[in-house]
Amino acid sequence: MFTRLCRWLLNISGWRIQGELPTQAKYIVIVAPHTSNWDFIIGVLARGALNTRIHFLGKHQLFIPPWGWFFRAIGGSPVDRRKNNNLVDSVVQLFTTQSEYKLALAPEGTRSPVRRWKCGFYHIAAKAQVPIVPVGLDFACKAVVIRSPLQPVDIEKDMAEILSFYRSIKGRHPKTIPDYMPDNKR
């Protein structure tokens, strides 16, 4: 029922899904560009329309009353970005202990313009040995664009490929996709 409702809501709002999610039991979905609160709504509808349970991490402020129960119920887990909490290893542990686990992340970490993307998603995928599935929310053509999975091998080459994909996607608000910048060159 929920799947049909999500498909119907996407359809009447003019959105379509282009591509397919992989059939693997574990992967990381990265969604960009993140420019609007509508990204979350479209993402939840697309996930529902695809009938796939995909977890997500969100800023801890979302998980306080009165809405905290809702975000947890739809697969969310709070992250306190004020603390250095070794998030990469914690998420890798989730992939290791679960027989099926899919996680969606926004690599920009914010709706504001950024000079560099956070690469935690890449480090998680490499350590957990799971593919990365880039998904773009293209507001120009109202399409949720699912790219083929990428198995992490070489961060510089892989990030160049990922960022190139997102340069063709137009967020709700214009945003420049930066070049890859290694962690040691912040």
pLDDT in tens, 119-147: 889 999 999 999 999 999 999 999 999 99
pLDDT score at 156: 93
Quote the DSSP letter at residue 116.
S
More confident residue, 14 or 87: 14
How sure is the predictor about 159, in pLDDT bands with cuts at 50, 70 and 90? Answer: very high
Is 82 a residue whose pLDDT tops 70?
no
| Cβ-contact 91, 26 below 8 angstroms | no
Mean pLDDT over each residue of the chain, to the nearest integer:
88
More confident residue, 80 or 123: 123
d(CA 24, CA 106) in angstroms, rounded, equals: 21
Contacts of residue 8, defined as CB under 8 A and 6 or more positions apart, other chains included, come to none
> Domain tally for the chain?
1
Identify which of 118, 126, 101 has the alpha carbon closest to the alpha carbon of residue 163: 118
Q: In which domain, by residue range, is 88 found? A: 2-185
d(CA 138, CA 89) in angstroms, rounded, equals: 31
How sure is the predictor about 12, in pLDDT bands with cuts at 50, 70 and 90? Answer: very high
More confident residue, 72 or 104: 104
| Cβ-contact 143, 14 below 8 angstroms | no
